[in-house]
Amino acid sequence: MACGSCGTTENGVPRGCKSNGNCGTGTCGSGSEKLAVFDWLSNMTLPSGQERFDIFEVRFKNGRKHFFRNVDNLTISMGDVIAVEGNPGHDIGIVSLAGELVKVQMKKRNVPIDSEDIKKIYRKATQKDIDIWQQARAREEETQKRGREILGRLGLQMKLSDVEFQGDGNKATFYYTADARVDFRQLIRDLASAFSIRVEMKQVGARQEAARLGGVGSCGRELCCSTWLTDFRKVTTAAARYQQLSLNPLKLAGQCGKLKCCLNFELDTYLDALKPFPKQDVVLKTEKGDAAFVKMDIFKKYLWYTYKEERTKWFRLTLDQVQEIIALNKQNKKSSSLEDYESDIEIPEKVDFEDAVGQDSLTRFDVPKKRKRNNRNKKRRPATAAVASSENKEDKKQQPRKKVNHQKSTDNSSASKTVNKNKNRRRNFKNKRNNQFKNGNNSQEK
């Protein structure tokens, strides 16, 4: 995500954050989408008589970074595309960090300043260098597909995860993962003859592969290994046990197939909170019987125990109560029953939503709306019947409920009589009209 200054004005003109290529959001400046470092010392001037640090951090494909020395004192800033020394030939990269913060990154990666492995910067990349570099990058996808076909033909137990071409297009690095040792000497010959390039094979682990490819985790954010995490510590199932998580491999495993690195993030906090808690195998001896541990709430300091003979009910105790029972048991004394301890716990009441501002209830949309039924039959009923029914209703309202039983039949009978009279009138009218129509037709025929 970019910062707000990277947007446009009302007229469509770019705002420009004037950061000169040192924005840490990852999309402007250096363009380092993975493992970006914000240079907060870029706007600070150096003390008088001190020269600028001549080593730069250069980023390549998928966040791969190396350090290069500016031997010729070129004017280079963050975000510049430069040509650096390769093995053999030259490579094209983007300057991701410059200045004093490079010393911090070198110290973090245990790279001495006077190391001979630090290669030099040749020049700023020309348009010809950039065109060759883009053509080489365009060949990577097709090379990876054909490389996998060659792997399948040779029957090697390895997975080709990525291919990276050098900036001059004369060398390609094939990244692969394998569970066991693989003899790929024949593979190198076939790849070199198929693509006419220099081939280098590099094995990476499952976590490094996920970091190179990137993706989105189950939390909805980008993978930590591809954005900011650089050191991959060992993750075990003990971290999940300490945090009271279910040992479900589908939920605990990340995209790399290993346990999630985020299991270690809050482990120290849980370990500090678990220090006063007793061990889970401790049995509480009470007057009613022995009680075994069921579960716990670490931060609320609640523990649930149940009797070994009657496991149908769980009893919630506080940490202080459990420690009191354990202290009595060490003195060869039995405590009172768990029911007595549970009754002493004061459970705080939950604070409900209060309409302090005068707004509507938060649950006003939870209740489903009642559908209005359109009773068409009511419209088709005759007017007399409707009048009779309304009269009956008015009579019922006026009369008390206890005396309605006697008059209901009379009202109903009167209503039924009126309805029958109306029906008879309609029937007689229809018969007269039909007879007149028949008599008229008979006279015309004669």
Helix H, strand E, coil C: the string for 346-374 is: CCCCCCCCCCCCCCCCCCCCCCCCCCCCC
What pLDDT sits at residue 396? 52
The helix (H) or strand (E) run that includes residue 141 is helix 140-154
The pLDDT profile of the chain, 446 residues, written as one tens digit per residue, is: 345 555 555 554 545 554 444 444 444 433 445 677 777 777 777 787 778 889 999 999 888 899 999 999 898 988 899 999 998 889 999 999 988 889 988 998 899 998 888 999 999 999 999 999 999 999 999 999 999 999 999 999 999 999 999 999 999 999 999 988 888 889 999 999 999 999 999 999 889 899 888 889 989 998 998 888 888 888 999 999 999 888 898 899 998 889 999 999 999 999 999 999 999 999 999 998 899 999 999 999 999 999 998 888 899 999 999 999 999 999 999 998 888 888 877 777 776 656 665 556 667 677 777 776 666 555 555 554 554 555 555 555 555 554 444 444 444 556 566 667 677 777 787 777 777 766 665 555 44
Q: What CATH number is given for 135-204 in this structure?
A: 3.30.300.20
d(CA 148, CA 171) in angstroms, rounded, equals 18
For 227-369, list the strands marked E by DSSP: 284-285, 290-297, 302-307, 315-318
The total of other beta-carbon atoms located within 10 Å of residue 327's CB is: 11
SS3 state of residue 76: coil
Q: Where are the domains of the chain?
A: 17-43+50-125, 135-204, 223-273, 284-343
d(CA 321, CA 291) in angstroms, rounded, equals 13
Query: CA separation (Å) from 289 to 76, 285, 293, 341?
Result: 78, 6, 13, 14
d(CA 233, CA 274) in angstroms, rounded, equals 22
The helix (H) or strand (E) run that includes residue 250 is helix 249-252
Residue linked to tokens 């080489």: 136
Tell me phi and psi for residue 94, to 5 degrees: -120, 135
The total of other beta-carbon atoms located within 10 Å of residue 253's CB is: 13
What is the number of helices (H) and of strands (E) in the chain? 14, 12
Pair 10, 67: CB distance under 8 Å: no
Longest distance between any two alpha carbons in the chain, whole Å:
136
Pairing of strands 171-177, 198-203: parallel
Contacts (Cβ under 8 Å, ≥6 apart) of 122: 82, 83, 84, 85, 90
- pTM, full prediction: 0.61
- Compute the chain's Rg from CA coordinates: 42
Pairing of strands 81-85, 65-69: unpaired
Query: CA separation (Å) from 216 to 63, 221, 248, 250, 256?
Result: 16, 6, 20, 16, 12
DSSP state of 255: T
